[in-house]
Amino acid sequence: MAKEINTIGVLTSGGDAPGMNAAIRAVVRQALSKGKKVKGIKRGYAGLLNEEIVDMDSKSVSDTISRGGTILQTARCKEFVTAEGQQKGAEICKKHGIDAIVVIGGDGSFQGAQKLAALGINTIGLPGTIDLDIACTDYTIGFDTACNTAMEAIDKVRDTSTSHERCSIIEVMGRGAGYIALWCGLANGAEEVLLPEKYDNNLEALIERVAHARELGKQHYIIINAEGVGHSQEMAKEIEAATGIETRATILGHMQRGGSPSCKDRVYATIMGAMAVDLLCEGKSNRVVAHKDGNFVDFDIDDALAMKKSVDEYMYDISKSLV
């Protein structure tokens, strides 16, 4: 029979994402409603190893659901990648009476959760990343807000680009994944979407398309470039040199991580946080909460980390055909 869970820890790890606070709030209040104690672990696994652990109550998460970032803060921790660091982390959990931990982050964070589970600390992972690059889930906390932030910024760039009859390259975040770029490509009606999963590095062909569009009388040319492709400034210089069309690169950067989370990110993160606590109270461990095919489900972390993900081919095809 599984050991009863009395105290649940919660931490955020890796890059911050809008909606993380909604997830933290749900973990805290759902746990309290079930008679459990909650401890917040600051600065991710680094904070765990440094014993930056605080008691949390309902008031700890008051007025946080609308806030961006993470109230627990976050950090990356090289020490926790080592077996010694993982063992130390499990021992610190036991020292503080933490029976289980909810880890909010991406694949790297889940690997840490996986190791803690193997060392006897029940763990549940919540997919918190703006990149949407976790294979087991169709939704990750923060993606919706990041897309809306980028979309609004791209609309503004389009206005000035049209006024000056420019070509604009707008680089969005996503690390090695092109999901923000693809969604914004469709939402903003971009002429080009460059994805790390698809881009062929044929800049000459891109230049030809830009020049042809100008010949047809197009007043602007919007290229949305994924972070994983990069080189936006260099591309802009080469396009302008080859075509004579004024070309500017705009890198949106970390603004996409900030801001008040969207309704979807608040609601989905809340459901995921509550579900994580429910799973722990059922005696489950080494699981990831996901949203798949319209349902909230959970997967074994080992299985989740082994899954592969690719961009939606139909979305990509229509991003090219609806120009």
User: Which of the residues are catalytic?
Assistant: 131
Q: Residues 265, 234: contact at Cβ < 8 Å?
A: no
Residues 6+ apart with CB under 8 A from 131: 15, 106, 140, 143, 173, 174, 175, 177, 179, 180
Among candidate residues 312, 290, 302, the one with its CA nearest the CA of residue 134: 290
Sheet holding 295-300, edge to edge: 53-56, 37-41, 7-12, 100-105, 122-127, 287-292, 295-300
- Pairing mode, if any, of strands 221-226 and 122-127? unpaired
Q: Residues 182, 316: contact at Cβ < 8 Å?
A: yes
